[in-house]
Amino acid sequence: MPCFVRLDRALRFKVLLQILATMLLILLLLLAAPARGEGGIEIKSFALEAVGKGYQISLDADITLNNTLEQALEKGIILYFVSKFTLIESRWYWLDEEVARSKRRIGLSYHALTRQYRLNGSRMMPQGFDTLQEALQTLGRQHNIPVEIKSTLKQDAEYVATLQVWLDISRLAKPFQVEWFSSKDWNLSSEKKEWRIKLPAPHKENL
């Protein structure tokens, strides 16, 4: 009888080793598999310019999509990207005040009939592209975006400027929001850039 107990223990130990070896093999296969594109947004440069009696901004950002977002485009889902700039006056005696802002939303879509990617947004003509890379490059390079002035600006004052670009989940159809709102594949956003800035001097008008 004790002999059978030893054999049973040995058999269970052997099975355990086989399970561990199988798990190790699966882990090695997963590590060796090609990495999945994660996508991302990185702001490369920014400029604030004086134009007439107001201001405008320009930005350059690298935008890449992951596999999930590329497949969504091919299925006819429009992806909306938002770029938001704010100018904040810091006040030690009261709450900070947003004195100027700029916000632009651009839709990226794919048309299977023409096999073209399209960009469409406020104050811009719709544009078509043969490849996704071309569309994303244009989407990331936004110029001459007007700034809305909400309060009196001081030429010699120092302001806090913020800038961020992100994929607007709220613009998706409700069923997609419910299904994918918590998925990391749909959380595409740049870091929120923040720095101190003085307003550029306005251009002198020709006499």
> What are the residue boundaries of the structural domains of the chain, listed by start?
40-198
| pLDDT tens, residue by residue, 159-187 | 999 999 999 988 876 665 555 555 678 88
Higher pLDDT, 17 or 42: 42
Whole-model pTM: value is 0.75
**DSSP one-letter code for 186:** G
Instruction: Average the pLDDT over 190-206 and give the result.
Output: 83
Condensed to tens digits (0 to 9), the pLDDT of residues 87-111 reads 999 887 788 899 999 999 999 999 9
Among 30-34, 105-109, 114-118, 153-157, the range scoring the smallest mean pLDDT is 30-34
pLDDT at 184: 78
CA angle, residues 66, 193, 41, in degrees to nearest 5:
10
Contact between residue 57 and residue 102 where contact means Cβ atoms under 8 Å apart: yes
